Amino acid sequence: MRKWWVFLFASVLALGAWAQVRTGAWVDEVVFAEEPSSGKGVDMVRTGAIDLYCYAISDPKLIKTIVTELGYEISYGSYNELTFNPYGPEFTDGRLNPFAIPAIREAVNWLIDRDYIVAEFFG
């Protein structure tokens, strides 16, 4: 049985020789910035100040600008979430994090009015 494991391990190591070679540029830095104005975000993409603007755009004029002037593909979809930080139960400065307690997270989960949130986000 031990010979089988040694053979398997050696085979896995040997497969690395046929691994696909990395092509393209290595990323040295990724910078995230917040731009709440869709118009300014599209202008920043147009001028090259940013490479990607990830926010839902509903203004037909801006969408026309993206399609005609920039020639980019448009991706539809969005994502929203409500996240709790369960770190702890105490922070490094001694404060208690209530969300580290599972019963409190469950209580908040029951208190959240999901229908209201959906109505506010999606109408």
Q: DSSP states of 58-109 as a string?
A: --HHHHHHIIIII-PPP--------------SB-TTS-B-GGGSHHHHHHHH
Please report, for the chain, the start and end positions of each structural domain, with discontinuous segments joined by +. 28-78, 80-123
Rounded CA-CA distance 90/106 in Å is 19
Query: What residues contact 20, with CB distance under 8 A and at least 6 apart?
Result: none
Could you tell me the pTM of the whole model?
0.43
Range with lowest mean pLDDT among 45-54, 55-64, 74-83, 99-108: 74-83
Read off the pLDDT of residues 4-50 as tens digits, 9 standing for 90 and up: 677 777 776 666 666 677 777 787 888 888 888 999 998 998 898 98
